[in-house]
């Protein structure tokens, strides 16, 4: 469904007020409502009753998708692009409008189907999340979730400590380097390139790996699922 950016943002606010702020309806306002409210009414996404506005069933579904795109954009900006926290929400507002036609599912799969945004708010699940629960496979997972014998390629490093990040990179733990997990206790031991490393769980949680299956790299298909 094509709706304007202003109408979409108003729709998101309705959803937040309804599901997170416990406001079931919104005041309809004075005659001559804002253009975005008129658009939502015309599209049947909200209805007006007794001076109040509330989401329709279609509006609930569309609003959840909008919230999902926004919070996935926040996750992408925070986890992959290392965007400053103060800028995440502003930039996510622009990025979310580009996450259409399955792109949101591909991003979700890439990030490992995150359940919460960087601010701790829930991300409404999509079809790819339900498929993931059936197939379990993920494109990218933190090293701490891999098992001995699993292999892949380092996708990115998420560390906020620049000194720790520089140390790992100086040792050759870099995006694109093949990685093989040797053991997970008492520390995480892995091969990267031609060297072996042992790290604690905190560091292992910040090394994200593009997982291989059967010796082959998994890729997202057009539906956001993983395939060999």
For 76-117, give the secondary structure using H, E and C: HHHHCCCCCHHHHHHHHHHHHHHCCCCHHHHHHHHCCCCCEC
Q: Please indicate, yes or no, whether residues 147 and 58 belong to a single structural domain of this protein.
A: no
The whole-angstrom separation of Cα 155 and Cα 174 is 8
Domain with 86, as residue range(s), is 1-136
Mean pLDDT taken over the chain: 80
If you average pLDDT over residues 176-192, what whole number do you get? 94
Which residue has better confidence, 208 or 29?
A: 208
Same domain, 80 and 10: yes
Q: Are 182 and 106 in a shared domain?
A: no
**What pTM was estimated for this model as a whole?**
0.58
- pLDDT for residue 56 is more than 80: yes
| Residue 152 and residue 203 share a domain | yes
Compute the distance between CA of residue 73 and CA of residue 221 in angstroms, rounded to an integer.
Answer: 20
Whether the pLDDT of residue 32 is over 50: the answer is no
For the segment 17-38, the average pLDDT, to the nearest whole number, is 70
Same domain flag for 39 and 106: yes
- 75 touches 95 (CB < 8 A): no
pLDDT in tens, 132-178: 654 444 567 889 999 999 999 988 787 667 777 778 888 888 888 99
Task: With a cut of 60, say whether residue 25 has pLDDT above it.
Answer: no
- For residue 65, tell me if it sits in a domain: yes
Greatest mean pLDDT among 16-25, 52-61, 110-119, 213-222 lies in: 52-61
pLDDT top residue among 135 and 214: 214
> Whose CA is closest to 151, among 173, 178, 132, 171?
178
How many domains in the chain?
A: 2
Domain co-membership, 126 together with 175? no
Question: Does residue 13 contact residue 46 with C-beta atoms inside 8 Å?
Answer: no
Q: Same domain for 4 and 95?
A: yes
Q: What pLDDT, on a 0 to 100 scale, did the predictor assign at position 200?
A: 92
pLDDT on residue 132: 61
> Any idea which of 12-16, 88-92, 97-101 has the lowest mean pLDDT?
97-101
Q: Do 195 and 211 sit in the same domain of this protein?
A: yes
* 129 and 149 share one domain: no
- Token pair for residue 46? 């909200």
Kindly state the average pLDDT of the residues 95-119: 80
Q: How does residue 198 score in pLDDT terms, banded at 50, 70 and 90? A: very high
Q: What is the mean pLDDT of residues 189-203?
A: 92
CATH code (residue 214): 2.30.30.90
Domain final position from 88, 109, 136: 136
């Amino acid at each position: 469904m094509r709706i304007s950016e202003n109408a979409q943002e108003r729709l998101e606010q309705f959803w937040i007020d309804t599901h997170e702020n416990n406001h079931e309806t919104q005041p309809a306002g004075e005659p001559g409502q804002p253009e975005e409210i008129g658009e939502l009414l015309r599209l049947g996404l909200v209805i007006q009753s007794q001076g109040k506005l509330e989401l329709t069933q279609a509006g609930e579904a569309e609003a959840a998708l909008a919230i999902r795109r926004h919070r996935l954009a926040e996750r992408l900006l925070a986890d992959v692009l290392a965007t400053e926290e103060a800028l995440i929400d502003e930039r996510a507002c622009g990025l979310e409008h580009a996450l259409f036609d399955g792109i949101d599912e591909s991003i979700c799969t890439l990030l490992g189907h995150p359940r919460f945004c960087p601010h701790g708010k829930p991300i409404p699940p999509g079809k790819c999340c339900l498929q993931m629960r059936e197939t379990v496979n993920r494109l990218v997972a933190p090293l701490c979730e891999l098992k001995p014998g699993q292999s892949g390629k380092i996708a990115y490093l998420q560390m906020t400590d620049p000194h720790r990040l520089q140390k790992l990179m100086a040792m050759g733990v870099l995006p694109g380097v093949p990685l093989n997990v040797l053991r997970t206790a008492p520390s995480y031991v892995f091969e990267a390139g031609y060297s072996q490393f042992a790290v604690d769980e905190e560091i292992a949680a910040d090394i994200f790996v593009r997982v291989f299956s059967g010796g082959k790299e998994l890729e997202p298909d057009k539906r956001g699922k993983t395939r060999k």
